[in-house]
Structure 1
């Protein structure tokens, strides 16, 4: 069986060849020019970073990818979907403010920013997942679902639920609407914390199943015989009264994320770039980033998101541990899997294995060093 190709460049530079030039050389060598971009809408899926966290991908890199897509005739836009938890990115207005605070705006990027699932995270398309074990239908943010081509730009790092965050996490969890994120995080319906309920009625109006009504004290309550777990009430509640029940196992969540990734790239050209630098132990969703666990390694690109993630894991595991990091706290020994050591209750490989079964890509790869 032919292995997938993963292209890699280190971060060494010289006069006349800076990191942006190396990025362009990398993605062109990896074959991005073979995609027909002419007059196509191109969703560049990226994480804008929670304000206070400084580990996210610099906008400069995104601008170079935007310029390449435009030169090839495409119509690019940067995008991400709203978060499920309450924070600086749980609605489109605050999300755009956070993106601009971190340097992402039309002037720096040369293209527009679109929050994929709309103002409150309720704007999505339902996409069928053939052979889905957990999710037969995925709720993908409309702007991403409607795009003709998908490019993922991934900050490779640790993650508290999936072990690491790379292409699969960025695409699957990152492109899901708030209801989709609820489905990936939780195996049950949401709950109402009645002491937070102010009887505004938004959850009742937004429930497609008429599953929510007022109790005798005019507090919202859910009829679980009607509830389908779509997450709309969590999305529209501005008082954190409708909440997620966090009860999904890490293995099942990883498999669901792979199924959502399948939906994102289904029947579309797709291309992926991972930045293995500032490899922080946790997600960029936190409002701070801990010390990187390894030295900066490089940038990798591939048409295969699974092979890309596998290559990035192996590169990080081969790299020396940085001193005074969480790995020392976790009693890491050279040769251990760094992500399993940091997040011992996760098994990152379950998501990749499931992605292979779904036909997203291969775990076997050939690393081509430029």
Structure 2
């Protein structure tokens, strides 16, 4: 497979060229105008952010992409699927309210917002992938029924996959609640007893009531109830709840790649990573920590795997922000920043599996604008 081109623009501006102008120039230079949008439904897959978290992509960027698509004759809508865990986005009504609260509404972005898997997360299409783990993928109906897929991805750390970018947003983000359960179920966490401080944050955050304190006031997981969503790993401030990085966790990353493949299979697709506010954890939580590196820029490609690989390389070449979690964890120059933040993860697994599935390559050429 030939190298994929990943186009990149930094965040420097000047009079007459603001960041929205630079975004439009970036996507057009990458080739978005080569897609036939005329009278086609265009799903713009985005994460609306959990209220309280301020690291998500600004609605202004979404509005610019919406306008570009409209100008090309497309019928765009912003979309995401409901979450598996408890929170403000686990059903369509609360999800829409959260999106509006964070600035995503028809007035601000110029198009409608559709929660892809319906009111309770049960509306999906089975898309055949015949993958290593999944024969079919349960993709939210609105995304599955769209003619064209555009992903707008906040590139940041992630407690289960190391980082979240195009593959994570496409795969996990487009799966119905049942699909998310299928992807998460291979990566049940563990409790490292000596680190547990009996704070009960994991108990309070568990949507399945699978965690309780034992007779020694140590968190304990009932694996007959655990769905492997990783919520306890994210909220634990003492590294007591940990992902078990073994064959089953590799499987979770590979399943995400198979779901991402299902989303874009036989469809025109285009992807944008915003390497801005690179927080250490997912935007699914109602707070965001200090970014681990300074803002870097925006990258775009027709290849989501090359895009993610280029983005992680840019982050690893960037200086750390003093006072961030990397300082707390005594980061050493030259090591992978995401694996350092989440030491039990390995982001390469998913990208390599995606390459094996044939919908992208790790080999890329970075074109700086």
TM-score by length of 1: 0.84
**8 Å CA contact 1:250, 1:347 repeated in 2:** no
SS at match of 2:335: coil
Rounded Cα–Cα distance in structure 2 between residues aligned with 1:246 and 1:256: 13
Is the alpha carbon distance of 1:330 and 1:369 closer, same or farther for their aligned partners in structure 2, counting shifts above 3 Å? same
Rounded Cα–Cα distance in structure 2 between residues aligned with 1:133 and 1:244: 23
Rounded Cα–Cα distance in structure 2 between residues aligned with 1:250 and 1:61: 34
Q: CA RMSD in A?
A: 1.4
Q: Please state if 1:163 is matched with 2:162.
A: yes
Rounded Cα–Cα distance in structure 2 between residues aligned with 1:265 and 1:275: 20
Structure 2 residue corresponding to 1:246, chosen from 187, 209, 228: 228
**Cα offsets for 1:212-264 (capped at 9, x unmatched):** xxxxxxxxxxxxxxxxxxxxxxxxxxxxxx95432883311100000000100
Tell me what 2:7 maps to: 7
Which residues of structure 1 form unaligned runs of 5+? 190-241
User: CA shift at 1:286, angstroms?
Assistant: 0.8
Tell me what 2:106 maps to: 106
User: CA shift at 1:2, angstroms?
Assistant: 1.9
- Runs (4+) of structure 1 exceeding 4 A deviation are none
**8 Å CA contact 2:186, 2:251 repeated in 1:** no
Q: Of the two, which has the highest radius of gyration?
A: 1
Aligned residues: 317
Which residues of structure 2 form unaligned runs of 5+? 189-223, 230-243
Tell me what 2:220 maps to: none
**8 Å CA contact 2:280, 2:289 repeated in 1:** yes
> Where do residues 15-34 of structure 1 align in structure 2 (5 Å cutoff)?
15-34=15-34
Tell me what 1:318 maps to: 317
**Cα offsets for 1:73-128 (capped at 9, x unmatched):** 00000000000001100000000000000000000011000000000000000000
Rounded Cα–Cα distance in structure 2 between residues aligned with 1:251 and 1:162: 9
SS at match of 1:64: helix
Tell me what 2:210 maps to: none
Rounded Cα–Cα distance in structure 1 between residues aligned with 2:253 and 2:10: 29
**8 Å CA contact 2:155, 2:278 repeated in 1:** yes
User: CA shift at 1:356, angstroms?
Assistant: 0.3
User: CA shift at 1:330, angstroms?
Assistant: 1.3
TM-score by length of 2: 0.84
Q: Please state if 1:124 is matched with 2:135.
A: no
Rounded Cα–Cα distance in structure 1 between residues aligned with 2:142 and 2:185: 24
SS at match of 1:245: coil
**Cα offsets for 1:33-78 (capped at 9, x unmatched):** 0000000000000000000000000000000000000000000000
SS at match of 1:306: helix
User: CA shift at 1:328, angstroms?
Assistant: 1.0
> Where do residues 136-147 of structure 1 align in structure 2 (5 Å cutoff)?
136-147=135-146
